[in-house]
Each structure stands twice: as structure tokens, then as C-alpha cells.
Amino acid sequence: MTQPVPEFTKVESIFVRERNCLLLKADFTPIFTDYYLHLMDIGERHPENLDTTLKDLLAILTLHLTARPWAETIAWTANLRAPRVNYFATGSSTHEYITGRLFTEDVREPDRNFLYSQTTVLGKEPRLSTIEADTEDPLQWIEHFYDQSEQRPGRAFRLTDDKYALVAAQPDFDREWLESLTSEKIATITDDEQTKTLETRKFRFWCGCSIEKILPTLGAWKENPEELFGNEEQLALQCPRCGKSYSITRNDLQ
């Protein structure tokens, strides 16, 4: 009998005592299931290689959010030369969501591959970071991001059956142990090491977009709708975060 998929992905935050490292791990089947339902809803289907990379970013960003303070909203954008594509992922622990999308049209061609990170806390200026994504493996992008932007080592792992893990160094961490980790060792850390579960957080694939949230972004055309609509009575606009389409009429703008 097929077991129902849980509504949320539960992320465990585990401290590895003698190694002074934080282990974040989760089964992403619930998030990936809702992600594919979302693609069906908006009528999109991605090539497997692009789809896999976006799922990697969604998973590792979710784990990274759990390693960070609750109040942060974080967005990652990867701008690649070949294939010329933008990957976008964003999430928040406060609102317990992760979402993202793929851009394959009208993508600016960079001279190198870049990963951009923006961290937002209510009432403060966003914190921006840029790293060069000089490998084909998005998990290595995140390791470079940890070295450069977090200023501490971090290692990301794909495990079996939609499971992922992230190990983030803490002060006085065991570097040799961290560098020796493999996917096989990650799977048995709680058996082989002294660990303590610090907290769990739960996430779902969700954007929360609506026509009411999109309309304020069109305020510049309120006094001159012809510039926006031309001869059309309605337009189809996409949510920039998840790609869902909304029909906007002239009356909506007013």
C-alpha cells in the first residue's frame, strides 16, 4: 500500500559534539512532490539536468535556512553561461516555505557563472553576496559560498531517496573530520558520533503569490495603462518567484 506523502519536510538541526559541527538533514520528498504538482499546474516541464540542479538548490537552501536565524529570508540566483539559464530559489523559516523557478528565456549571458545571495531581515538593508560558480555541481557552489560569504567551511551532500545533508563548521571544529566526510559517513553520523538534536523546522514548497500582491508592482502604469496594455484588454503576468501566471485587466489596474 502506498504511504501518503507528508505535507511538510522536517529539517533536523543536530550538533556533533566532539567535532563542533552542525548537521542539517531532511527528506525532501514532500517538497519535491509539491514542486512537481506546481509544475503541472503552470504547464511547465524542465529537462532533467536543469530540473535536478533546481531541486539541489531548493534542498540546500532549505538546510541553510535552518542553520541561520529564524528572521531571515534568503534568495539564491545562479546565472550560468552554458546552458544559458537562471536558477532561482528563495525561502523563509518564519513562514516555513521554499519556492523557486527556472528562467530559460531572455537570460543575460555573463562572462562567468555566478551565484548571487540576498539575505533580508525586516527593517534592515538586504545583505548581498556574489561568488563565482566555477564548477558544474551546485553543491560545490554552496561550499564555495560558505567559504567566502559565511566565512566558515560547509559541505553539502546528496543522499538516497530525496535526502540531503549540510554540515556547517562551528568555532574550533574538527577540520580533518569535516574534510573526510562522505555520503556514507553522513548516513551513520548519529550512530558513530556523539550528537544532540537542537531543533527541527518544517518547510513546504509554497510561494503565497496572488494577483493582489502583484498589482502594486504595476503602480507606475496606473495613470497610463495604454503603455502597459497597448491594444490588449488583459495581460498574462508571471510571478517572478514561482512562475504562476495571472491575468490582469485594465480594471484590475485601476
**Given the C-alpha cell 532549505, which residue does it identify?**
62
Whether residues 239 and 160 share a domain: the answer is no
Q: Is the pLDDT of residue 219 over 80?
A: no
For residue range 176-201, list pLDDT tens digits in order: 999 999 999 999 999 999 999 999 99
CATH number at residue 125: 3.55.30.10
Pairing mode, if any, of strands 154-158 and 73-80? unpaired
Produce one character per residue of 184-201: b if its CB has 16 or more CB atoms within 10 Å, e if not: eebbebeeebebeeeeeb
Nearest Cα to Cα of residue 10 among 205, 200, 190: 200
Number of domains forming the structure of the chain: 2
- Residue range(s) defining the domain that contains residue 185: 9-205
Please tell me whether the overall predicted TM-score, pTM, comes out greater than 0.85 for this model. Answer: yes
Q: In this structure, are 87 and 169 located in the same domain?
A: yes
How would residue 5 be classed by pLDDT, with cut points 50, 70 and 90? low
Does residue 209 have a pLDDT over 60?
yes
Is there a single domain that holds both residue 148 and residue 248?
no
- pLDDT 10s digits, 53-62: 999 999 999 9
Pairwise CA distance, residues 205 & 6, whole Å: 12
Q: Is residue 3 part of a domain?
A: no
